[in-house]
Amino acid sequence: MVAWTEERVRSKVRQARTLVVKVGSSSLTATSGHLDPSKLARLAGALAETASMGARIVLVSSGAIAAGFGPLGFSARPEDVPTQQAAASVGQGLLMAEYEREFSRFGVRVGQILLTAYDTIHSAQYRNAQRTLRRLLDLGVVAIVNENDALASNEIRFGDNDRLSSLVANIVRADALVLLTDVDGLYDRPPQEKGAHRIGFVPNVIHTLGDVVVGGSTSGVGTGGMHTKLEAVRVAARSGIPSILTTASNAGPALMGDRVGTAFAPLKHKSTSKRLWIGFASDPRGSLIVDDGAKRAVLGGKASLLAAGVTAAVGEFSAGDPVFIADAQGKRLAKGLVNFDSEEIPQLVGKTMAALEEEYGDGYGHPIVHRDDLVLL
């Protein structure tokens, strides 16, 4: 396999047929917290130019709450959830109106998709989102995605659009992910500290996570920070998707493959949509506890999980649900789609497939989790 270099990553971004671009609230608003039309116009221009060259673009855009709390008379982002939801309800319309106006200058249509975490963790909704996004892209529409802040609660939400962007990149099988923020790349320490250096290329983001000092959002209008961006890059890298992290003002050069920001290499080839959903978006309903032999087989990456290696089931789940696979100490090894209901598992544990067929019939002569439905953590 050809090694990933900075030049290869940036070339991949420049040539990407399907791109996911994420922009944060701080990159779209003025210091007062109001939406800044000039910032949004510059971003739309850069994306429209890329679209004119044949790229299919999904824009994951924050900014609904930031756009809404000013017109509602608040001097700063509200902290209570109901007021945030009200601000998002007002601001989302304002945000989309600006995008519609700016993209229309270039003859580009836009479409809105509002997602909640439920839409990605449940397979039926995940497929619906996938079909809609793919059709929008096929029609040449720039799909603008945001979390449905007007309805999402703290109990079940993405928390920031960085994570959402990496999941959307999986949903549309993107060729590249570009994260636009108010910092011009990844630094080895907070960039405001003396001696901080920007890192131009990261060949392995998992190794790098332990070598840099990062913090949270300091803009006052956003919810993320460098940590959430690195987590998004990590998901993308493990999904076989190269990434760029830079400022929104560098959007055009970044999309053209110029040496701006930080380029992150992918760690593996892209997997199937089903396996990506299992690994990164699914919400496990329980766990299967396995013995040491099954642990070794699962970690080998090529074996199904058989009943003979399962010692117990934890939680309530149905056949087809995602579950964790954990060792005797509770360490999670993998996620997978289980082939039996949780209430059936106790009578199956420790038995070979031949024994299961003889005792219960042909319908039981298959793995607890097939290797095609199993993703290592």
- Residue at a domain's end among 276, 292, 308: 276
Which pair of tokens denotes residue 250? 């560098």
Task: For residue range 8-57, list pLDDT tens digits in order.
Answer: 999 999 999 999 999 988 899 887 777 889 999 999 999 999 999 999 99
Please say which residue of 233, 253, 276 terminates a domain: 276
Q: What is the DSSP string of 188-216?
A: SS-TTSTT--EE-EES-HHHHTTT----B
Same domain, 46 and 161: yes
Nearest to 13 by CA among 140, 162, 174: 174
Tell me what pLDDT residue 283 has: 79
CATH of the domain at 86: 3.40.1160.10
pLDDT at residue 156 in the model: 42
Confidence (pLDDT) at 218: 43
Q: Residue 336's domain is classified under what CATH number?
A: 2.30.130.10
pLDDT score recorded for residue 56 = 98
Same structural domain, 253 and 194: yes
| Separation in Å, CA 348 to CA 75, 303, 304 | 61, 18, 15
* Farthest CA pair distance, the chain: 72
On whether both 247 and 345 belong to a single domain, the answer is no
pLDDT at 345: 92
Q: Encoding tokens for residue 159?
A: 């928390």
Same domain, 263 and 144: yes
One domain for residues 242 and 300 = no
pLDDT of res. 103:
98
Domain hosting residue 119, numbered range: 6-276
In this predicted structure, what is the pLDDT of residue 158? 60
- Average pLDDT by consecutive 10-residue portion of the chain (377 residues)? 88 97 90 85 97 97 87 85 88 93 97 85 84 96 87 55 89 95 88 87 81 52 68 88 96 96 87 72 86 92 90 92 92 92 92 87 84 85
Whole-prediction pTM: 0.79
If one counts the domains in the chain, the total is: 2
For the purposes of burial, counting CB atoms within 10 Å of the CB of 122, is it exposed (0-12), middle (13-18) or buried (19 or more)?
middle
Exposed (0-12), middle (13-18) or buried (19+): which is 170, by Cβ within 10 Å? buried
